[in-house]
Amino acid sequence: MSAGEAKEYLARREIPQLFESLLNGLMCYKPDDPIEYLESCLQKVKELGGPEKVKWDTFVSPEKKTLPPLNGGQSRRSFFRNVMPDNSNFPYRRYDRLPPIQQFSIESDTDLSETAELIEEYDVFDPARPRPKIILVIGGPGSGKGTQSLKIAERYGFNYISVGELLRKKIHNTSSNRKWSLIAKIITTGELAPQETTITEIKQRLMQIPDEEGIVIDGFPRDVAQAISFEDQICTPDLVVFLACSSQRLKERLLKRAEQQGRPDDNLKATQRRLMNFKQNAIPLVKYFQEKGLIITFDADRDEEEVFSDISSAVDNKLFANKETAAGPNELDCSLIMDSGDAVYTEFDFEDQGIVLELLKEAMVSKLGDTKGFLIDGYPQELKDAEEFESKIGEPKLVLCLECSAETMSSQSSENTETTEDRIESYYQASNPLIAYYESRTQLCKVDAEGTQEDVFLEICKTIDSFLKKEEAAFFSPEMQ
């Protein structure tokens, strides 16, 4: 490798920035075991998404970032006075130092209150007392986080914190403050509010309610860096609720909310930017919480009561294991399929298919060593999704198509008539070419779904049994010997 190629590689991989951040961390903390410290830093780099996500101060805590001001340059000025003659015939003129340029940083502005500074130094929760249960509710803008968070808080008697409302209230109450005026502009354009400022506001609010049994936090974190900061400065959450919703439905809800509520960050440009930020950050964030076993995903592209019913069952099971839980239809279907097929059931109702395929691939790879097969529900939904699946994962052995009339679909939907009709029409437009594609390429089996749930399930079992027998017969046929 030539010197030019080596330089190009280091620059492309952001290696100098990575080394700088690691070196700054070492100089700042001076750990007794530098190897262990560097290993922990590199693990955090992976969680953040790679070296390109690292900044020079990634491994420097907030209280160690601000350096004391220089002492007005007095020593330097006295030096010049000693070496530069005062003779008026001297050809160069001595100038006084210019006043320093005023600098401003949102995260280090001098108008931060003493309360905020003290919060950096103390635990949010009293270590001598039981910590309240913490539920984080995340999802795209317009996915129903506020609605579901309020329902969770009301059902379990928890306190509700909307991070967006915290910030908007702070902006309203400190409209003349330069720092918060800048944050208001950032939020209005659809960008994320500064991380440390947001964390500080959450900590302030949590310290005001120390006696709560549980707390539901709506709209935080938005990316992996915020998740790590929350765990470092506050605690590891007990449960993360992820509301998955199609991009089209998110746009519709945001436009409707803009008409009804008039929020400044619901303008068209900001909405597009927020959706883009969500798509960029969703996969790494979901993966981060999946690895910790903290997250449960729910299809939020349904009636809010249906969504809440599923969330309630999950919260009962996760946080209140001694309570009797009522499994919804998704859990029932899952148990039936797991018992009969000995397969891994992975449900993806998230209609943003680029994100779905990445999560689906991750889930399949993690189970390759201990499963006989995969049963995937609700994917693909369009022809392009099927082609993408085969390109990145492989061709399916069997495709089941549950057929029923539009009237049956409509009768099982809890949405209003107009919305249901639109969704059914969209389904037919997308599914017809998809079905034709699989009929020409693989084993497509159509199942009559007009009967009861038990009847349809039995028919599916017969179809799968027949398929597996054919597979077994083909394997042991003379042609395969």
Give the model confidence (pLDDT) of 432-448 as tens digits: 888 888 888 777 888 88
On the question of pLDDT at 178 being above 60, the answer is yes
Mean pLDDT of 242-267: 74
Task: Categorize the per-residue pLDDT at 288 as very low, low, confident or very high, splitting at 50, 70 and 90.
Answer: very high
Task: Yes or no: say if 441 and 395 are a contact pair by the CB < 8 Å rule.
Answer: yes
pLDDT the model gives residue 23: 87
Mean pLDDT of 321-347: 37
pLDDT the model gives residue 331: 34
Token pair, residue 331, equals 């859990």
- Per-residue CA distances from 195 to 2, 65, 163, 229, 342 (Å): 41, 15, 12, 8, 44
pLDDT the model gives residue 103: 47
Q: What are phi and psi of 400, to 5 degrees?
A: -100, 130
pLDDT the model gives residue 339: 30
| Close Cβ partners of 326 (under 8 Å, ≥ 6 residues apart) | 313, 316
Token pair, residue 436, equals 């034709």
pLDDT the model gives residue 347: 42
pLDDT the model gives residue 174: 79
Of the two residues 107 and 134, the one the predictor is more confident about is 134
Mean pLDDT of 261-279: 71
pLDDT the model gives residue 87: 54
Of the two residues 226 and 359, the one the predictor is more confident about is 226
Token pair, residue 94, equals 């001595």
pLDDT the model gives residue 133: 95
Task: Categorize the per-residue pLDDT at 467 as very low, low, confident or very high, splitting at 50, 70 and 90.
Answer: confident
pLDDT the model gives residue 234: 92
| Close Cβ partners of 212 (under 8 Å, ≥ 6 residues apart) | 132, 158, 159
pLDDT the model gives residue 413: 63
On the question of pLDDT at 340 being above 70, the answer is no
Of the two residues 362 and 463, the one the predictor is more confident about is 463
- What is the percent of the chain where pLDDT is above 90? 16
pLDDT the model gives residue 177: 78
On the question of pLDDT at 351 being above 60, the answer is no
Domains of the chain: 3-60 (no CATH), 116-326 (3.40.50.300)
Burial of 448 (0-12, 13-18, 19+ CB in 10 A): exposed
pLDDT the model gives residue 155: 93
pLDDT the model gives residue 423: 77
On the question of pLDDT at 298 being above 60, the answer is yes
Highest mean pLDDT among 193-202, 275-284, 377-386: 193-202
Which of 5-19, 78-92, 132-146, 218-232 bottoms out in mean pLDDT, i.e. has the lowest? 78-92
Residue type for position 477: S
Predicted confidence (pLDDT) per residue in 46-95, tens digit: 888 888 888 878 887 665 555 555 544 444 444 444 445 555 555 555 54
Task: Categorize the per-residue pLDDT at 266 as very low, low, confident or very high, splitting at 50, 70 and 90.
Answer: low
Q: To the nearest whole number, what is the mean pLDDT of the chain?
A: 76
Task: Categorize the per-residue pLDDT at 238 as very low, low, confident or very high, splitting at 50, 70 and 90.
Answer: very high
Highest mean pLDDT among 14-23, 105-114, 346-355: 14-23
On the question of pLDDT at 315 being above 50, the answer is yes
Predicted confidence (pLDDT) per residue in 393-449, tens digit: 888 888 988 888 888 887 776 556 666 777 788 788 888 888 888 888 777 888 888
pLDDT the model gives residue 79: 44
Mean pLDDT of 440-468: 85
How far the first Cα of the chain sits from its last, in Å, is 49
